Structure 1
Amino acid sequence: MKNTYHVIGLMSGTSLDGLDLAYCKFNKNDQQWSFELLKGKSIAYKEAFKAKLKNTINLPASELLHFNNQYGTWLGKQVDLFIKDHNLSVDFLASHGHTVFHQTNIGLTYQIGSGQHLANTSGIKTICDFRTNDVALGGQGAPLVPIGDALLFSDYKFCLNLGGISNISFNVNNERNAYDIAPVNMLLNYLTNKINLDYDKGGAIAAKGNLNTELLEKLNALEFYKLPYPKSLGYEWFSEQVLPIVESVNDTFENLLNTAVHHITDQIAKSINMIKYTPKPKLLITGGGAKNSFLIEVLAKKLPRVDIVVPDENIIDFKEAIIFAFMGVLRDLNEINCLKSVTGARKDSSSGVIFYPS
């Protein structure tokens, strides 16, 4: 059994920013895992490609399956270029893929990015499809990063990811708990796209706005926020539950963005304050939303007893890709990488499907 692994993690999130590639070294010493991010690269999606990814939820089955293969091939080409550009030695790839469907109420989760096409195109063993097995075991199939939070970022009481959707993980009675909280960049970027901006840099536009209390009350009253965890969110919920509320309001973009930030931070603060903690626990914030300084400022005001830590940009940008690389290592060792305490599955599992190039 090896103690050191060199793995490339691939992550494409619901915010549709692009593909993150993280070349990582993992080492196990005295039953403790450590990691180094040796190289990272973010590849922004071209507008036409982003539009196609966004529309996958509406594709007929045959077109979706065809695009699944195309996307896997595209991922393989990006990996091949990344390896050649930096002359990397890689044990295997671990790919999250890109989520199209996530409806765990009917036992459905589906990420595109064919593992066989990815393996064949890159010429490297590939581990992917990390969610399906957990859902088959009755779990949410999400969030998955808490295993990495527990084993790689154990210095923090709370680990909060602000991607398309926010999720949080933490320990209670020596058991890892985690769940999705609310939409973040999924909502903010939806609003900025209406004024032909990819995102609100630093939250500058939101900071100029005023709070729309009626909109805030409607958003905060959504039924999902009352549900106990484990629980998870997908684009379908956002489209069906959040967008009709947002679209029903006639207000300035500044006010809508400002209110969205307050909604996001209300839900995060409520989630954290539900947990008993001693003053000044460390809260690690990663994901694209960690760069929204206005959002972080508003959140800090709502969590005065918490020590908020925004790490260096590499961890902000690549933490999820790093953890999926790590999940691949655990799967390769047939060790647990999906926690029932997090997803609500019947049991812990070692999830992920392994593909060999041919």
Structure 2
Amino acid sequence: MLKSKYKVIGVMSGTSLDGIDIIFATFDFDEYWKFEIKEAITFPYSERWKKMLSHLTGESMKSLQDLDEDYSTFLAEQIQIFIDSDKIEDIDFIASHGHTALHQPERGLTYQIGNRQIIADILKQKVICDFRVQDVEFGGQGAPLVPIGDRLLFHNYDFCLNLGGFANISYEEGDERIAFDICPVNIVLNHYVAQIHLEYDDKGQLAKEGSINEELLNKLNKIEFYKNKPPKSLGLEWVNKNIFPLIDAYQLELKDILATFVEHIAIQISKVLNISNKSVLVTGGGAYNDFLINRIQELSKTEIVIPSKEIIEYKEALVFGLLGVLKDRNEINCLKSVTGASQNHSSGKILIPKINN
């Protein structure tokens, strides 16, 4: 007999390196899934961890494996602090995304650090994690994984758009969920404002002051990826190869880089949101970028909905909690219509804490 109620800790670390998002949520199934976020926090990365995580694509596999052990221990420690500070008890399991180190699905490769057995052993809790690997083995992109959560938890919106390190979107087309990465967002914007020691461009104010470089904008919009049909996904390696060298070649002022790239983001997103009278749920850190949101609104014909702060900031951690629930029930949590895998499947691995003698 399957349970209908679950108490889960969901953990997410994204490519924008904002920090580790951790939530404690309940999931309740009665004809459809309902949820409640009970507690939520973001643990910011130290400068040391930011530096290490931003250079993962250049590391050898041996170095990544060594770092994996350290990061798994670090992740467990942060989760334990969360559990202790909020006095959380009676957890069914912890569902964790880890942090993407390598993502090259065309080569059959995806590697998330922070999925080692040591997490379960330190926390003495069941851990469900490493959700991408099986999908790549089935010939899929291993991303995006959030659309199953969009379908089951946020079905009252026509589109679910996340503006994190990358912009990704999901929606129903016929009886299938379609989802894909649209373009880079904060992984590029934050990279450039870091040069003046800022975490992000607050509300897009710097970008708003800049001028668009039309030549650069045209070249960005002509990048081959945008012509590809879904399923498709992006990673830091792709940005390092295709975006940063192109922008840097123009030697623009910072605010002009930001203005041009925000316009690029808005154009690429508006090409997808080309249907009138539809609602779009916008989450991720980019939802706070007023200038970007206004440009998307002006270029598209849809109703943009900005939800509560906890949904904006913790939706992905919430959905990975749900992915864990579905894996625990041996139910589909990865959709072939989204990733291009050969079949729908229940992805992830289950770590059971070892009992010390």
Match of 1:75 in 2: 75
TM-score under structure 1 length normalisation:
0.97
**Structure 1 match to 2:261:** 260
Q: Is the 8 A contact 2:273 2:302 kept in 1?
A: no
1:210, distance to aligned residue in structure 2 (A): 1.1
% identical equivalent positions: 47
Following superposition, the deviation at residue 60 of structure 1 comes to: 2.5
Superimposed CA distance per residue, residues 305-356 of structure 1 (whole angstroms, 9 cap, x where no aligned partner):
2110011111000000000000000000000000000001000000000001
Residue 197 of structure 2: aligned partner = 196
How far 1:61 sits from its partner (Å)? 2.4
Aligned to 2:178: 177
| Letter in structure 2 aligned against 1:300 | Q
Q: Counterpart of 1:299? A: 296
Secondary structure of the residue aligned to 1:176 is strand
Alignment of 1:41-80 (within 5 A): 41-80=41-80
AA matched with 2:299: K
Instruction: Give the corresponding residue for 1:314.
Output: 310
Which amino acid counterpart does residue 269 of structure 1 have in structure 2? S
> Which residue identity does 2:78 align to in structure 1?
Q
> For the residues of structure 2 that align with 1:302 and 1:115, how far apart are their CA atoms?
44
Whether contact under 8 Å (1:115, 1:127) holds in the other structure is: no
For the residues of structure 2 that align with 1:127 and 1:194, how far apart are their CA atoms? Answer: 37
1:3 & 1:85 partners in 2: Cα distance?
27
User: Any idea what SS the aligned residue of 2:273 has?
Assistant: helix
Structure 1 residue ranges, 4+ long, deviating more than 3 angstroms after superposition: none
Deviation for aligned residue 1:193: 1.2
CA deviation vs aligned residue, 1:9-51 (integer Å, no higher than 9, x gap) = 1000000110000111000012x11000110010000111110
Unaligned residue ranges in structure 1 (runs of 5+): none
Relative to the length of structure 2, the TM-score reads 0.97
Instruction: Report what 1:146 is aligned to.
Output: 147
For residue 340 of structure 1, what is the aligned residue in structure 2? 336
Letter in 2 for 1:348: N
Aligned with 1:285 (options 273, 282, 291): 282
Counterpart of 1:315, as a letter, is: I
**How far apart are 1:174 and its partner, in Å?**
2.0
Instruction: Give the Cα separation in 2 of the matches to 1:61 and 1:150.
Output: 36
The whole-number CA distance in structure 2 between the counterparts of 1:61 and 1:181 is: 29
Q: Does 1:350 align with 2:346?
A: yes
Mapped pair 1:329 → 2:330: no
Aligned to 1:36: 36
Counterpart Cα distance in 1 of 2:65 and 2:215: 42
Could you list the per-position Cα deviations for residues 214-234 of structure 1 after superposition, in whole angstroms to 9, with x for gaps in the alignment? 110011110000001100000
Gap regions ≥5 residues in structure 2? none
Conserved 8 A contact 2:11-2:20:
yes
Contact 2:56 2:102 in 1 (8 A): no
Other-structure match for 2:244: 243
Offset from partner CA, 1:125-170 (integer Å, 9 cap, x none): 0011100000100100100000000000000000000000110000
Give how far 1:5 is off.
0.3
Matching residue of 2:132: 131
Query: Deviations for 1:262-315, whole angstroms, at most 9, x for unmatched residues?
Result: 001111111222xxx4x3211000001111011001110011x21100111110
CA RMSD of aligned residues (A): 0.9
Q: Which residue of 1 aligns with 2:218?
A: 217
The SS at the match of 1:199 is coil
SS in 2 for 1:237: helix
